[in-house]
Amino acid sequence: MSTEQTVLEVEAAEITRSFLEDLQKLSYYSGEPIAAVYAYSLLRKMRDMLDRCIGDPYTEVVMALHDALAYQNYWIDYTKNQYQGAYELFLSLVNRKKLSDAEVEDAILALDDLGFNIMPFEVQLNDNIQEYEQDSEQDI
């Protein structure tokens, strides 16, 4: 493992620790107007993590939660229990030195089990396939 890779892993874990307080406060204040302050802070720190630690295993899990919260401001719809579950999940992750691919997958699925929409972006493949087939037939 290179020094740069070790630094990135440590930095990602530290950034994750830095937003745990926001996540905990969001859990406490969910459904109240003050929750917007903590949601904004949390989302900002998550984007900062992506900018600084792209490709890090922690970043993958963080961005799954980010997408669930940021897409169409869904952070407003999640409950105190969901935020508390996410807080506990990330608290358990930052105490590990390194995350394996299986642990990343399990953590993302745990977010899904908590009710976070980890894939909020719609993709309509059927329409695209039909258009591609029609274009291909016209080329022949």
Question: Exposed, middle or buried: residue 66 (CB in 10 Å: 0-12, 13-18, 19+)?
Answer: buried
pLDDT of residue 8: 47
| Tally of domains within the chain | 1
Q: What is the pTM of this model?
A: 0.77
- Measure the CA–CA gap between 83 and 114, rounded to whole angstroms: 9
For residue 33, what is the enclosing H or E element?
A: none
User: In whole angstroms, what is the distance from residue 47 CA to residue 32 CA?
Assistant: 24
Give, in degrees to the nearest 5, the angle at Cα 130 between 124 and 135: 125
Q: What is the dihedral of CA 62, 117, 70, 51, to 10 degrees?
A: 30
Query: Any idea what the Cα angle at residue 128 is, between residues 134 and 118, rounded to 5°?
Result: 170
Domain that holds residue 90: 3-139
pLDDT, tens digit (0-9, with 9 covering 90-100), for 11-29: 666 767 788 999 999 999 9
Instruction: Give the other-Cβ count within 10 Å of 103's Cβ.
Output: 15
Please give the DSSP secondary-structure letter assigned to residue 79: -
The residues, any chain, with a CB within 8 Å of residue 132's CB and separated by 6 or more, are: none
CA distance 130 to 30: 43
Backbone conformation region of residue 62, classed left if phi is above 0, alpha if psi is from -120 to 50, else beta = alpha
* Whole-number pLDDT of residue 34: 95
Q: What's the pLDDT at 78?
A: 95
pLDDT by 10-residue block (mean), the chain, 140 residues = 49 75 93 94 91 85 94 93 95 84 94 92 62 60
